[in-house]
A and B are shown apart, each in its own frame.
Chain A
């Protein structure tokens, strides 16, 4: 008899959710809980691993296996777990500070190794849990508690980092667009290899409205562009605008007056060369609509599969390891009963 299908409720733990009222994290939690039942993975095989920060409380709220670890290191725990238990479905939950600042190094390496993990980076462009300091994605000049005269760090672009590390699945969504986020998360979870999803997430206390210029329901049509594989980049409430390439530079054009969809940049998420994705990530609001959707989705061998394969081949070639034999590697000699070998 098949087990009854899981529902969203099956993934809510008994722990009371303690994020600030109105926090974007609630939406992400809800969408993950909504997507999981559709994946058909037994609940006991799902693990959420996080670092430190508001986002990283996430595992406590999931009725799955979970590990709330230490600042920035979630990708390392996830790597070790996946490498030794490839059958598990592992999610890494991180924030812009946790993932890109203290844990930047690990994020880079987990993606280039293509370990089959789904990484969701909550980007609110501020430090929330430590109460309002600028983060690696905060805009230049931003005034915060630790930058009273304006931030002089230039912000990092999370997707460009992911693409440079050649993550095999790279996508972006926003907390307010629940349908879109579900689609992106489901595809990310189904992807084999490292999936990296950036979610623009509103911090109501320390950076409220940071994404209002493009992320709200009202602004979205005019200020975001949906990336759809094989389709031209069209946007606008009236679908009357598009992105055209001028050499290596994207530009916004209005359709009509001789400009048609065939002049527009056609999205191709399957390119192994990450250049197109990088170029799209250069498009910055308000000069451009913010691209959302899947930037890149390619197939590459995963780290854990290659590791398992090497082990299997070693066993085939040399036989399953036998300790007695291993101990006797190299020059071995025997000492017979005590004193007997004292040669005259």
Chain B
């Protein structure tokens, strides 16, 4: 359905999967149109996967190379796990966007450029000596030159907006163009424009007009020989919505709060790319959610510990450098054996690193980044939708085992999105809390026989008055205790308590043959790229299997046995080999790493090539 005028009939080609990258200046609204295209595709029933990629600066100089902002999405009629290795189509809003993104394009890709912006000034800013559209440097691509800026300006000549305001609408013209080319409906986006610009009728009408104008332009300009259609994917039946990892994380914790019957408290300090979790939770006040925007990272976790001490589901969230600051307080939560979830949406480090780029290099910090023997549970979601489930798991483990749990998401998961099957509430695990109330039997450091968890005695309970703190406590009584044998015992008990979580988590599933040449072990946000690579390798006849570890500490009980069934073990990671280090130490397995630390996710091809190499008989 479109409101565009009827044009000549065009050929409509059916394809299984398309990957598009929108790229422009960081002020051009590329993230917005990327999201809109994603939603339109998701609503059509395609499987989708996205990769927003934007600069850390709010506004780098206009038209400059560092100012390029991009949004890549893949949509398909099949189940997909990644936003695509290489774009089939690049929409470049200016020369800088073309220059930055061209190296990622495969031969034969389609490039749609905003021709108007390829002027002398912008070419100079992008470091071009001459216009690349005019020579044969792009001869390997299908280039379409569309005067987006001027066509948008013509469409909005009567809008009553200023020239600047009109120019800011051109992203929707480009979106309209792409909607036509890939046969997407305009309705959802028109609705979004209505909501987004509710208070600005002129801007609202202008954006709607130019979206339709872009659509009509594509239809009438006879520029494209064909339009494309990607049929709906075969997804599990159910209700779906498109969701980012950060949004799913927030929803997961709200759900966890209801599943355990405890109010949610989130103490956090804004930091990229974790801030959306705080922003989302702040909107859920009618769920009894208390969000506390703390003065710093330490205060964020301090308030969460205070709330957990009081019986709330206490959470704190941050990104890499913030986790470093929280280290001492995590140790306090370990010592006081309180349930606490620490969310780390990892980004490229060390220090401030690349704030908007993804990496998974905080694993060893999560495992060991504290003084003393200070074990905590570590879990990691594998996809944006999985963030929902692992958030619940993190809360469940924390409460059931009275331990801090570190939840390792990353920028790729947090900002990326995919269709999320809305869960059936009945299917979610319930883990009601029982607070001790009997003064006759209560001992602050008595332990559950099975889990070794201590009781969660909370202030306000008559007769249970006791003191917690960072000083070592005597087992059972909880009195301050400097006794050497007691410290030795408590250190071992705390370690054993965390180790026993293994009995409370699922066994490690393996995708593929139960024995073979190569087992690929991955964790976190690399799931999609690795799974896609393993699938391709299996299709090509390689004897390869995939184990994606979502419970990292402790690891699933059967993992040690699983790794022994394959000739080689490959561990792809966006770090220099952190899970590899743990696996080698734990299972004495001669695993090898595939490591990339570029602030970018793996391409599945990179993983595939390594699998193929290892599967060769002499390897």
- Please list the residues of chain A having a beta carbon within 8 angstroms of any beta carbon in chain B: 13-15, 42-45, 47, 49, 52, 59-60, 62-71, 73, 75-85, 87-88, 105-106, 108-109, 307, 310-311, 314-315, 317-321, 323-324, 326-343
B241 A330 Cβ-Cβ under 8 A: yes
Cβ 8 A contact of B290, one of A70, A307, A333, A341? A307
Give CA–CA (A162, B397) in the complex, Å.
Answer: 41
| Contact partners of B235 in chain A: CB under 8 A | 335
Does B237 reach chain A (CB closer than 8 Å)?
A: yes
Q: Which residue of A lies closest to B421 (CB)?
A: A335
B467 A60 Cβ-Cβ under 8 A: yes
| Contact partners of A87 in chain B: CB under 8 A | 460
| Contact partners of B309 in chain A: CB under 8 A | 67, 77, 80-81
B299 A79 Cβ-Cβ under 8 A: yes
B232 A342 Cβ-Cβ under 8 A: yes
A80 B303 Cβ-Cβ under 8 A: yes
Cβ 8 A contact of A70, one of B77, B288, B329? B329
Q: 27 interchain pairs (CB within 8 A)?
A: A13-B467, A15-B467, A44-B464, A45-B460, A65-B459, A68-B470, A69-B332, A77-B309, A79-B302, A79-B306, A84-B307, A84-B312, A105-B299, A106-B299, A109-B295, A311-B286, A315-B286, A319-B286, A326-B251, A327-B251, A327-B422, A333-B45, A333-B240, A335-B235, A335-B240, A339-B234, A343-B232
Q: Quick one: given A68-B468, A327-B422, A331-B42, are A80 and B304 in contact (CB under 8 Å)?
A: yes
Q: Which 5 pairs of residues, A with B, have the shortest CB-CB distance?
A: A76-B302, A68-B469, A80-B306, A80-B303, A321-B287
Q: Which residue of A lies closest to B306 (CB)?
A: A80
| Contact partners of B467 in chain A: CB under 8 A | 13, 15, 59-60, 62, 65-68
Q: Beyond A60-B480, A83-B303, A339-B234: 10 further Cβ-contacts under 8 Å?
A: A15-B479, A45-B460, A65-B466, A88-B460, A105-B296, A307-B290, A311-B290, A320-B287, A321-B254, A342-B232
- Whole-angstrom distance between the Cβ of B460 and the nearest chain A Cβ: 6
- Whole-angstrom distance between the Cβ of B243 and the nearest chain A Cβ: 9
Does B314 reach chain A (CB closer than 8 Å)?
A: yes
B43 A333 Cβ-Cβ under 8 A: yes
Give CA–CA (A115, B197) in the complex, Å.
Answer: 38
Does B589 reach chain A (CB closer than 8 Å)?
A: no
Q: Quick one: given A80-B305, A88-B310, are A65 and B465 in contact (CB under 8 Å)?
A: yes
| Contact partners of A337 in chain B: CB under 8 A | 237
Please classify the interface of chain A as helix (H, G, I), strand (E, B), loop, or mixed, using the class held by over half of its residues: mixed
B299 A76 Cβ-Cβ under 8 A: yes
- Whole-angstrom distance between the Cβ of A100 and the nearest chain B Cβ: 15
A69 B39 Cβ-Cβ under 8 A: no
B239 A333 Cβ-Cβ under 8 A: yes
- Please list the residues of chain B having a beta carbon within 8 angstroms of any beta carbon in chain A: 39, 42-43, 45, 77, 188, 231-232, 234-242, 251, 254-255, 258, 263, 265, 267, 284-290, 292, 294-296, 298-299, 301-312, 314, 328-329, 331-332, 336, 422-423, 425, 459-471, 479-480
| Contact partners of A315 in chain B: CB under 8 A | 285-286, 288
| Contact partners of B332 in chain A: CB under 8 A | 69-70
Q: Which residue of B lies closest to A10 (CB)?
A: B465
- Whole-angstrom distance between the Cβ of A103 and the nearest chain B Cβ: 9
A332 B465 Cβ-Cβ under 8 A: no
B39 A84 Cβ-Cβ under 8 A: no
- Whole-angstrom distance between the Cβ of A54 and the nearest chain B Cβ: 14
B292 A331 Cβ-Cβ under 8 A: no
| Contact partners of B463 in chain A: CB under 8 A | 44
A324 B425 Cβ-Cβ under 8 A: yes
Tell me which of B234, B294, B302 has the highest count of chain A C-beta atoms within 10 A of its own C-beta: B302
| Contact partners of B292 in chain A: CB under 8 A | 79-80, 83
B255 A341 Cβ-Cβ under 8 A: no
B232 A341 Cβ-Cβ under 8 A: yes
Q: Which residue of B lies closest to A334 (CB)?
A: B239
A42 B286 Cβ-Cβ under 8 A: no
Give CA–CA (A179, B459) in the complex, Å.
Answer: 30
Q: Which residue of B lies closest to A327 (CB)?
A: B422
Give CA–CA (A192, B290) in the complex, Å.
Answer: 21
Q: Quick one: given A45-B459, A326-B287, are A76 and B306 in contact (CB under 8 Å)?
A: yes
- Whole-angstrom distance between the Cβ of A187 and the nearest chain B Cβ: 24
A342 B234 Cβ-Cβ under 8 A: yes
Q: Which residue of B lies closest to A85 (CB)?
A: B310
| Contact partners of B329 in chain A: CB under 8 A | 70, 73
| Contact partners of A65 in chain B: CB under 8 A | 459, 465-467
Q: Which residue of B lies closest to A318 (CB)?
A: B286
Cβ 8 A contact of A47, one of B251, B305, B459? B459
A77 B311 Cβ-Cβ under 8 A: no
Give CA–CA (A63, B462) in the complex, Å.
Answer: 12
Q: Quick one: given A59-B469, A70-B332, are A81 and B459 in contact (CB under 8 Å)?
A: yes
B238 A83 Cβ-Cβ under 8 A: no
| Contact partners of A330 in chain B: CB under 8 A | 241-242
Give CA–CA (A72, B192) in the complex, Å.
Answer: 47
Give CA–CA (A45, B459) in the complex, Å.
Answer: 6
Cβ 8 A contact of B286, one of A13, A82, A109, A317? A317
Cβ 8 A contact of A67, one of B45, B188, B231, B468? B468
Q: Which residue of A lies closest to B477 (CB)?
A: A14
B240 A334 Cβ-Cβ under 8 A: yes
Give CA–CA (A88, B465) in the complex, Å.
Answer: 13
Q: Quick one: given A307-B290, A321-B286, are A332 and B459 in contact (CB under 8 Å)?
A: no
